[in-house]
């Protein structure tokens, strides 16, 4: 999640059942304030009371990720031993209602999407101070940490990750969601070597092309029209993909300055100086077409198929890729090991904030959700456990 403040702009156009649920939530959040989310959740999927999903069901082993808002832990479900990632957000770090709204938006997006290259949500719950997401464990590390370690990737590897992201972003756009925070930190490798998009804290649902929007995202990857506060379209995500592809292939960022404050000036005023000598012809061609300053001339303005058809992706069989039938070029070697339970120490590992929690449990009422998958496997295990106990 990054920083973002935006005017409430709601589109009630509905496409799928999932987006109906999301638009319902969005509408109520904006019209009536946060509390009204309770109404919708009660009528749809919220199951906190019935599932009894809570922190005590998990053993916390180690910190595996840290973002601008959240910490992510490797956890195992006590009854089944299954490993998950647990994203923890501190309520006291949410400064305005919109921050709370983003937590709900993130939950609703991941809960409803089902895609091989988008992280899966198993459950959500809360304690007095924190909100928890139980997610797919992606044990291979994020793309950023790999670039830092390995400097840059082979073209084959960069193409594979970029292609999986093309499918993930295309799916979001089909569902009227603009991602808005594409960066290497939010793309994480799973144990088999595929990548998944995580962190939907800045995404926008029910997105209408050409609506006036807010400056939002991470400066190094942000499109010029976002910075200048113009109307923008789904193509802001394709711009970010171009910058990421350049970084994966060269280990560098294209901006002619490393001073963060000056980056927006270059993005708005100049064509970024991508170094053609570091890239193959098709790679250079794709990157420069994704990073065209005028959004209407950018590759992808006419839909995801424009990008899929680019010569850089000539070798990619998109159907096989979607079905995970293409062998990943890199398979993470090290399995994450379950360390001793650190639950007693979770308070120490989550940054202590001096701010007093402004948002009580009331604001997060009905935040909890549990997928049948996680509950079913536990129910079976629980029955077995009870049977064993009887025979002791
Ligand atoms: N499901 C996951 N499995 C493993 N690591 C993850 C997972 N989700 C996120 N991470 C790691 O945790 C970091 C922070 O998570 P993120 O959701 O991006 O938090 P924030 O909203 O604070 O940016 C990510 O950059 C990534 O390295
Ligand atoms: Mg993040």
Residue 2 domain flag: no
Domain count, the chain: 2
pLDDT in tens, 338-382: 556 555 445 544 444 445 555 666 777 778 888 877 776 555 454
CB 191 within 8 A of CB 161: no
State the pLDDT at residue 254.
95
317: annotated active-site residue: no
pLDDT in tens, 57-72: 999 999 999 998 899 9
Residue 113 domain flag: yes
Residues with CB under 6 A from ligand 1: 1, 64-70, 72, 85, 87, 119, 135-138, 142, 185-186, 188, 198-199, 201
Q: Return the bridge partners of 197, or none.
A: 118, 187
How many angstroms does the Cα of residue 221 sit away from the middle of ligand 2?
Answer: 13
The CATH number of residue 272's host domain is 1.10.510.10
Residue 79 domain flag: yes
Please list, in sequence order, all residues whose beta carbon lies within 8 angstroms of the beta carbon of residue 291, skipping any fewer than 6 positions away. 239, 242, 243, 246, 254, 271, 272, 274, 298
Q: Beta strand pairing status for 83-90 and 130-135?
A: antiparallel
- If asked whether residues 75 and 43 sit together in one domain, one would say yes
The CATH number of residue 86's host domain is 3.30.200.20
Mean pLDDT of all residues in 299-326: 98
Helix H segments across the chain?
17-32, 37-43, 48-51, 97-112, 143-150, 155-174, 224-227, 235-250, 263-269, 281-290, 304-308, 318-322, 346-349, 372-391
- If asked whether residues 168 and 216 sit together in one domain, one would say yes
Which is the closest atom of ligand 1 to the Cα of 137?
3
- If asked whether residues 183 and 304 sit together in one domain, one would say yes
Mean pLDDT of all residues in 292-303: 96
Residue 186 above 90 pLDDT? yes
The preferred substitution site among 142, 145, 183, 191 for testing ligand 1, maximizing ligand atoms within 8 Å of CB, is 142
Q: What is the dihedral of CA 8, 12, 16, 17, to 10 degrees?
A: 90
- If asked whether residues 73 and 150 sit together in one domain, one would say no
Tell me the binding residues for ATP.
87
How many angstroms does the Cα of residue 73 sit away from the middle of ligand 1?
Answer: 9
Mean pLDDT of all residues in 151-173: 98
- If asked whether residues 119 and 17 sit together in one domain, one would say yes
- If asked whether residues 294 and 158 sit together in one domain, one would say yes
Q: Minimal CA–CA distance to 190: which of 67, 1, 328?
A: 328
- If asked whether residues 154 and 132 sit together in one domain, one would say no
- If asked whether residues 253 and 374 sit together in one domain, one would say no
Average pLDDT score over the chain: 81
Percent of the chain scored above 90 by pLDDT?
59
Residue 390 domain flag: no
Residue 4 domain flag: no
Residue 315 domain flag: yes
Nearest ligand, CA of residue 201? 1
Q: Which domain holds residue 307?
A: 143-322
Residue 32 above 90 pLDDT? no
- If asked whether residues 282 and 219 sit together in one domain, one would say yes
Q: Which of 99, 136, 181, 190 is catalytic?
A: 181
Percent of the chain scored above 70 by pLDDT?
74
């Amino acid at each position: 999640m990054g920083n973002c403040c935006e005017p409430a702009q709601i589109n009630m156009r509905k496409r799928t059942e999932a987006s109906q649920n999301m638009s319902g939530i969005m509408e109520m959040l904006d019209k009536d304030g946060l509390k009204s989310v309770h109404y919708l959740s009660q009528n749809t999927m919220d199951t906190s009371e019935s599932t009894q999903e809570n922190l005590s069901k998990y053993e916390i082993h180690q910190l595996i990720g840290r973002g601008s808002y959240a910490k992510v832990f490797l956890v195992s479900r006590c009854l089944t031993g299954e490993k998950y990632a647990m994203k923890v957000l501190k309520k006291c770090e949410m400064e305005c209602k919109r921050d709370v709204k983003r937590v709900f938006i993130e939950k609703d997006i991941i809960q409803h999407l089902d895609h091989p290259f988008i992280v899966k949500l198993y459950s959500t719950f809360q304690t007095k101070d924190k909100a928890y997401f139980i997610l797919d464990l992606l044990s291979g590390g994020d793309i950023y940490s790999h670039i830092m370690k390995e400097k840059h990737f082979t073209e084959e590897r960069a193409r594979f990750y970029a292609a999986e992201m093309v499918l993930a972003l295309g799916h979001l756009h089909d569902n009227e969601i603009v991602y808005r925070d594409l960066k290497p930190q939010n793309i994480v490798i799973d144990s088999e070597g595929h990548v998944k998009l995580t962190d939907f804290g800045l995404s926008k649902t029910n997105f209408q092309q050409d609506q006036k929007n807010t400056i939002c995202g991470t400066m190094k990857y942000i499109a010029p029209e976002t910075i200048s506060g113009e109307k923008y379209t789904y193509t802001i995500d394709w711009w970010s993909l171009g910058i990421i592809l350049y970084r994966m292939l060269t280990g560098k960022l294209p901006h002619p300055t490393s001073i963060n404050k000056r980056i927006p000036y270059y993005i708005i005023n100049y064509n970024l100086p991508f170094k053609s000598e570091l890239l193959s012809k098709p790679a250079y061609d794709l990157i420069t077409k994704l990073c065209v300053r005028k959004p209407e001339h950018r590759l992808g303005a006419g839909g995801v198929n424009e990008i899929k058809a680019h010569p850089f992706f000539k070798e990619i069989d998109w159907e096989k890729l979607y079905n995970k039938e293409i062998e990943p070029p890199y398979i993470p070697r090290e399995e994450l090991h379950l360390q001793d339970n650190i639950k007693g120490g979770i308070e120490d590992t989550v940054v202590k904030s001096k701010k007093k929690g402004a948002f009580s449990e009331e604001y997060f009422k009905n935040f909890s959700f549990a997928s049948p998958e996680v509950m079913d496997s536990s129910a079976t295990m629980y029955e077995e456990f009870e049977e064993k106990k009887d025979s002791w």
